[in-house]
Structure 1
Amino acid sequence: MKLLVSIHDVMPETIDRVRRIFDRLIDARMQPVTLLVVPGRDWSSAAIDELRTMVSHGAELAGHGWTHKVERINGVKHALHSALISRRAGEHLALSRIGILRLMLKNRAWFETQGLPAPRLYVPPAWAMGPVPRTLLRRLPFDVYETTGGVYDATADRFLRLPMAGFETDTAFRAAVVRPFNALNRFWARRSGRPLRLGIHPDDFELRLADDLEAMIAAGGECLSYRELA
């Protein structure tokens, strides 16, 4: 199976767990791995150095919001998304279109300020882009965007629907919903030959679908870079 492997929510407070997961994936020969970085946290020089070390070992960086949390819920749609999926993480959904664009530009500039490779991929928190049309995305300094449904290649103005598997399940209800969702998406990936997006969060190995995640890593696959989709 072809895989697009990413580690989400890379922040100073998760960097140690992210490094352990990254090393585990490298040991399992699952490369490349994309790190979804949240710039607007309290980054120390030591945490930045950890990012640089992982980049030197083949990690690719992606932008992932700014703080990855919201202070307020903005309307009914956001309330439903928050209750069912994102909780307080759907950062774009609390902002206006202009606010989202400013956040994304600020995200990209942070990497350059830190002397890190400028990311080509941007993934909004909880995969929720918010009210930003693709005509505007094509004018931003990212080439590829990932949302719930798949990946948008802005350079070619092409959207590719892709299956996805996640494991962030801290309740029995979430596990009961996500496990069959993952199984359906794995079936779709096998039948279609399309890459399966394997999104790993820092606490996933301690949550209810840890055994499923372990099994997928043991099964392995042909890992691709998001850049190869563009």
Structure 2
Amino acid sequence: MNSRSYADSATVRSGERTLLASIHDVGPRFEAQVDALADRLSRHLGGPRFAMLVVPNHWGEAPLGEARAFQAKLREWASHGVEMFVHGWFHKDGGSHSGAAGFKAKHMTAGEGEFLGLSKPEALRRMQDGRALIEDIIGRPTAGFIAPAWLYGPGAREALGDAGFAMAEDHMRVWRPSDGAVLAKGPVVTWASRSRARIRSSLAFAALARTALRPLKTLRIAVHPGDTTVTSLLDSIDASLSAAVRHRRVGRYADLLTRADA
């Protein structure tokens, strides 16, 4: 790991175009893949200058609270300035949906929109439990909350107002739950590995985004453990990161809280 702390890097200046990079689905279930992605991003970004989205118990099969070795890794990453977000609890959607929510559940994720159908009390409980667990492990505050698959139902959106997170993110924006202020906007560049059609479409979008999204003040790039299983996706990730760092400064999500030009 690069000895220079991410937190030691200079604050992003107002008006400066920045890159925010993140690794999703971080937890003991995908330890090897997360390690590989962290190494890959560090090579491009000059160190561990990215965020991690931590899942407390992925699909109920990988409890972070029992994974002492992985907890130590999280503490080490956090000590070097990696921002830690609460990323749901199970990352699994246990409900049934209809209408717009049914469309999102079917077409925007493979059964992983955990917070799409939760009631406010249940959403709030999982947010608070996830925050308490992760903050106890890393010994510092979490950066915010990001729902699995970036999907929020009405209950989850209401719960965010009471949960006290500094920021939240969906596919099109980053915002401050306390007052709804938008901190950054524009689509996340991400990749999908679960079918050939999704691989092709994500490759096409990433290629287009390298130029089409250049005017954005804040560009977000997100990678997932499944990306490590497809060579063409890894090549595309490399190309997107290389292009981004040529034109942007690597930033931190926390910078958005003090910058007024999202």
Q: Do structure 1's residue 226 and structure 2's residue 253 form an aligned pair?
A: yes
Q: Is the 8 A contact 1:121 1:226 kept in 2?
A: no
Q: Do structure 1's residue 3 and structure 2's residue 3 form an aligned pair?
A: no
Q: Is the 8 A contact 1:186 1:196 kept in 2?
A: no
SS in 2 for 1:94: coil
Gaps of 5+ in 2: 1-16, 258-262
Task: Give the superposition deviation at 1:131.
Answer: 0.7
Structure 2 distance, partners of 1:31, 1:219, is 18
Task: Give the superposition deviation at 1:106.
Answer: 1.4
Structure 2 distance, partners of 1:101, 1:149, is 22
Identical columns (%): 29
How many residue pairs get aligned? The number is 229
For residues 1-230 of structure 1, the aligned pairs below 5 Å read 2-28=18-44, 29=46, 31-40=48-57, 41-43=62-64, 44-132=67-155, 137-154=160-177, 157-159=180-182, 160-192=184-216, 194-207=217-230, 208-221=232-245, 222-230=249-257
Q: Is the 8 A contact 2:185 2:218 kept in 1?
A: no
Task: Give the superposition deviation at 1:71.
Answer: 2.8
Structure 2 distance, partners of 1:132, 1:73, is 15
SS in 1 for 2:116: helix
| Alpha-carbon distance change, 218 to 27 in structure 1, aligned in 2, over 3 angstroms | same
Letter in 2 for 1:223: V
Instruction: Give the TM-score, by structure 2 length.
Output: 0.78
Q: Which runs of 4+ in 1 moved over 6 A?
A: none
| Alpha-carbon distance change, 172 to 133 in structure 1, aligned in 2, over 3 angstroms | closer
Structure 2 distance, partners of 1:209, 1:112, is 32
Instruction: Give the TM-score, by structure 1 length.
Output: 0.88
Letter in 2 for 1:63: V
Q: Is the 8 A contact 2:83 2:143 kept in 1?
A: no
Corresponding position of 2:7: none
Q: Is the 8 A contact 2:52 2:82 kept in 1?
A: yes
Letter in 2 for 1:149: M
